[in-house]
Amino acid sequence: MRWYGLRAALLAVALCAASLAAASIWLGLVGAAAVSALLVALGWISFLSSERTVLSAVGARLVSEVEHPDLYKLVGETARLARLPLPRIYVSPTAQPNILTVGYGPRSAAVCCTEGLLRVLTPAELRAVLAHELAHVTRRDVAVSSWSAGVASLVGIRPFKALLLQIAAPSGREYGADTDGALLTGDPMAMASALRKIDTGAAASPLLPRGPLAAASHLMIAHPFPSAGAGRLLRTHPPTGERVRRLEALAGEPRSLRAAEFRRTPFRPLPG
């Protein structure tokens, strides 16, 4: 997580420095001051609006325990196991099976499942993908991903948007969340099975890579866009086959080794 955060911080510093240097050359000190104020304003806008932007892009709505008691039960059990507070739970009407988490910390996290995901996964598979999403929260890489989604939503040029997401949200974070989530539930094969179903469903019902949704794709557990054209340009996820292979290898380890690895995972009680 520190590496991902450092990459994002260096990217932000580089962009700000380039913008200020260009403003100083072409517009002088007054122009540099104006650009500096604009950059600060854009930074706050992206920070404050990223969650709303992402959830609106997938048409998500906050649901109650009365509406989805089984989902609340699974999320609550998994959150307690991960020693996290219960996140807010959203459901998107999207038919594609997918899930994402947005927020800047354990106490502000929001998990959003699509209706397609709730239809195709078994309870064990759903628990596995929820553990994956909560692993992003515990590893704190959800904060970097949420910030980058907010910034990318302000970028209108698609190649620049793709470059920003590739730097701020590298594919390696998914391997880490896969492993931590599988160790948390103790069922790597459920996670592998869920990934296969999600990948098949995403390929059968791809979303269109446009608008705010294009800036939020890296927050999802699987790439939601077509594998060609603009969808390929925005891809930030590792190949599903490789993710499944690693999970299958993890499932083949002796139980004692998995237990030792679990003790080294970043799940810790929250302060206070």
Q: Supply the residues annotated as catalytic.
A: 133
Separation CA 72–CA 157 (nearest Å) = 39
Q: Which DSSP letter does residue 218 get?
A: G
Contact 217, 57 (CB under 8 A): no
Of the chain, the end-to-end C-alpha distance in Å amounts to 23
Angle between helices 123-139 and 69-81 (to 10 degrees): 50
CA 5, CA 83: separation in Å to the nearest integer? 23
- Which of 235-259 are b and which e, b meaning 16 or more Cβ less than 10 Å from the residue's Cβ? bbbbebeebbebbeebbeeeeeebe
Residue 25 CA to residue 11 CA, distance in Å, equals 21
Strand 88-92 to 61-62 pairing: antiparallel
Measure the CA–CA gap between 243 and 169, rounded to whole angstroms.
17
